[in-house]
Structure 1
Amino acid sequence: MMRTGIIAAILFVLAHFALLTGVTTPEKFYFDEVHYVPAARQMLEAAMREPMLNPMHPPLAKQFMALSIHWFGDIPLGWRYPSVLFGSLAVVAVYLCGLALFGAQGPAVAASLLASFNQMLFVQSRIAMLDIFSLAFSLFAITAFMHGFRRKRPHLWFALAGIGFGLSAACKWSGAFVLAVCIGIIAVIRLMQIWRTQFADARADDWYRPDLWPGFNGWHFAACFLLIPAAVYLATFIPLYGFSVPGILEAQRRIFSDNTTSAIAGHTYMSSWPSWPFLMRPVWYLFDKIDEDHIAAVVLLGNPLILWPALIAVAICLRDWIVTRRLDAFLILAFYFGPYLAWALLPRTLGFIYYYLPAATTASFALVYALKRGSLPGWLLWAYVAIGFAGFAAMLPISAAFIGTSMATFSRLMIFQNWI
């Protein structure tokens, strides 16, 4: 336990330092900060004025931004420090989730490093947007769910997961996608148990067992995965609306209406969900010319040296789950495909590659799984982590605005025309 705490603390400090370096550049709003920072400022006013800014998203992430602005001032550090903090926590959560999944320190640390080097997490942790907050809470919730999955009495762990899911959805509604995955997993397992399903050659590492959670009944399920998340989620609206039930319900109606509408104008960097795993269309958050030959740029693309091979790793997990019914492969697939394919079910046509962030992060588990299976040498995983870091380092000039880059370097990094 002490070793786990020490490693988690080291990962947090390293991630915090890396994410905080140069985070105040640029000293102006860029990309969607123009929506969220004014909404956070509004929350600091003595009396909430109308119209409420950015009502299409829940308030929790913006409340964290408001607190930061209150503490650090209405400056770039005040806007972006909460993202740095939650990005660092997300790195720790990946490590803890890896421990629950693989049961060993090495693979857990490797998963955390790969998630850190996938470029998406780095970029989203340095901008005042909502996604990194939702991701961090989701990852802690997944960790609790995985810890509880293997226990006869998962009640406490599943309740903790419910708290995490409620907080995730209170940052952005897409955080509820992972909650839906867990509900689906439990529903399928309970249905198979009702049908008295058994595997003829049952093994301890099967994803399904007829004796799973004998004391976890319907009331426990409702409390952990419905009531607790709903209560936590709704509680985040109290600072804005007090205990006004009509006000809180009207806020939900507005969020639902804005997030399900298909009548949304196009965007230069929009992309559809089938393209995200292939990194076909990035989002340029910033492109400022410093002089004739130098630019300050921030692009949300993803590290091709990690996210393209991750597709092969996901296929390996799928093969192993089908052939050997392995629990770790099953959970990796569930938390990769669930938050990703949920976007295919929504009617809205406007999408961006940063919606792929949760799946891109959990893809690191698939890579670790694929590289540590069978008789593969242990050094191979760490060699691949080094390769991932090399790709991340090469992309730093277009990942962090304070570094800057030349047009020649920019041209070399833009391998495909559709990346521009």
Structure 2
Amino acid sequence: MALAPENRSDPFGWTFLLCAAFMFLCLVRLTIPSSPYFDEVHYLPAARALLDGGEWLNREHPLLGKEILALGIASFGDTALGWRIFPLMCGTLALFAAMRALWFATYSRFASLAYGLLLATGFLLFVHTRIAMLDIFMVAFFAVALWQCAAGLREPETAQWRLALAGIAIGLSMASKWNVLVVAMLPGLAFLGARLAASRRRLLLSKRGIPIAGMSLIQAGFLLGLLPLFVYWLTYIPAYFYDDNILEIGGFIQHHQTMLELQQSLKTPHNYQSNWPDWLLNLRAIWYLYEPVDGAQRGVMLIGNPLTMLLGLPAMAWAVWAGTKRRRWDLIAIVSLFAVSLGMWLFVGKPIQFYYHYFLPSCFLLASLAMALDELWQGGNRWMPLSALAGSLGIFACFYPILSASPLDGVAAFETWTWIEGWR
């Protein structure tokens, strides 16, 4: 944690307004296309099957994301609004929670607000807030977990219930998509590491010392370790009541072995596949949509913001240096989250990977950029941070038509935004 300034002013109101503006932009043409597109064609049938108790579909992914989509269909109808209303809510929640996490980690108004603007205009959050896929639920719940962990460290008197919420959110994040599994261990491991560093003789039972006075290692282990696993299991309860291919009592572990096999079974090369060096340099786009639909040529393109995804790389290098040299634990936390969430893709047995797997790591990359801009801002250099934020906003405005399924001028309109060959 950064040291708390004597006079601090919580930017809660500005955070709320920024999130409201983001939600409004996402609402524009939310129901276009009016038919399922990209991976909605996999997740929506699985959600419908949940509602009618039929066949268990899309078994390679956990159930929670599809349960949330099913709730949207049940509440708002089997229409584009019903499919995408909860992704919209969770995307807005992800932005709010991420900003609150950085606020509690730094107590810097500028860093928190800059981070919100960078995330909102970073493309990945915007695109996934408007489509019925699983990634947005995973990111939203994990952002909530980080928010509650950071707030619990700042306000130890609230740590019990905040870490309980964090544990629940971690479980829900894992139950949305497995991409978060490894990084989800970091909050609990960080607590353990801090207690080991404090050299407490009664390691398991002592409530003294860092990171949270008044909480024992056993309590933290339950809240950040066992509770997430229990919540994760709870999300599978509907699977025990399917009409076809039900989850047998005692078959939970076996089912997860099957999930692993399904995850590793996709080996056919894909035109849009990429890997982590492509992600870092923003070299390969995915066209979620590009066809005549709802009366016009429309497209939805997934890349990262061409400015901030590249600026984030030197910012992350600075965070490594500053975190190590100055013992800035807020920076070390961001670097660790980025390194683990990205590094896992070097080792997982998933042969075909895509740019949307960079969604979670990109959130931490943009956090490092917000921190680097804050360093300049606090040092009296105002024009560089403001220029970077204005540039991010300007490029987002330039790409907005191809991020939001706007009507386009003919089939060759995509050339306006395909600045490099890998984006075609």
Q: TM-score range by the shorter chain?
A: 0.7 to 0.9
Partner of 2:63: 59
Shift of 1:352: 0.6
1:368 Cα deviation (Å)?
1.5
Residue in 1 that maps onto 2:341: 339
Whole-angstrom distance in 1 between the partners of 2:329 and 2:250: 44
Q: Check whether the contact 2:11–2:113 (CA below 8 A) recurs between aligned residues.
A: no
Within the candidate set 46, 53, 68, 1:39 is matched to 46
Tell me the matched-pair count. Answer: 402
Instruction: Identify the residue that residue 174 of structure 1 maps to in structure 2.
Output: 179
> 2: CA distance between counterparts of 1:227 and 1:211?
21
Q: Secondary structure at the match of 1:41?
A: helix
Residue identity in the other structure for 1:233? Y
Q: Name stretches of at least 5 consecutive residues in structure 1 with no aligned partner.
A: 197-208
Task: Tell me, in whole angstroms, the C-alpha distance in 2 between the residues paired with 1:105 and 1:406.
Answer: 44
Shift of 1:79: 1.2
Q: CA deviation at 1:340?
A: 1.4
1:266 maps onto 2:269 in alignment: yes
Is 1:312 the counterpart of 2:319? The answer is: no
What amino acid sits opposite 2:184 in the alignment? L
Q: Which residue does the alignment assign to 2:258?
A: 254
CA distance in 1, matches of 2:58, 2:325: 47
Of 73, 76, 82 in structure 1, the residue corresponding to residue 80 of structure 2 is 76
Equivalent pair of 2:188/2:225 in contact (CA under 8 Å): no
SS in 1 for 2:270: coil
Deviation for aligned residue 1:408: 5.8
Q: Is the 8 A contact 1:110 1:382 kept in 2?
A: no
One of 11, 22, 28 as aligned partner of 1:15:
22
Distance in 2 of aligned mates of 1:390 and 1:418 = 22
1:189-268 to structure 2, matched below 5 A, reads 189-194=194-199, 211-213=210-212, 215-241=214-240, 245-259=249-263, 261=264, 264-268=267-271
Higher deviation after alignment, 175-184 or 230-239: 175-184
Aligned equivalents of 1:221, 1:290: Cα separation in 2: 51
Cα deviation per residue 1:41-99 (whole Å; 9 max; x = unaligned)? 11111xx223x111111111111111111122111111111111111111111221121
Q: CA deviation at 1:320?
A: 0.4
Cα deviation, 1:286-307, whole Å, max 9, x if unaligned, reads 111479xx83111111111111
- CA–CA distance in 1 between the matches of 2:97 and 2:266? 36
Say which of 130, 138, 141 aligns to 2:142.
138
Question: TM-score w.r.t. structure 2 length?
Answer: 0.87
Match of 1:148 in 2: 152
- Higher mean alpha-carbon deviation, 120-129 vs 379-388, is at 379-388
Are the counterparts in 2 of residues 100 and 147 from structure 1 also a CA contact under 8 Å? yes
Structure 2: gaps of 5 or more residues: 1-7, 202-207, 242-246
For residue 383 of structure 1, what is the amino acid of its counterpart?
A: S
How many Å separate the matches in 2 of 1:2 and 1:214? 25
Alpha-carbon distance in 1 for matches of 2:108, 2:252: 44
SS for the counterpart of 1:129 is coil
8 A Cα contact 1:332 1:362, kept in partner? yes
* TM-score, normalised with respect to structure 1: 0.88
Structure 1 residues 155 and 379: alpha-carbon distance in aligned structure 2, compared to 1, 3 A threshold: farther
User: Considering only aligned residues, what root-mean-square deviation do their CA atoms show, in Å?
Assistant: 2.7
Q: Is the partner of 2:299 in helix, strand or coil?
A: strand
**SS of the residue 1:377 aligns to:** coil
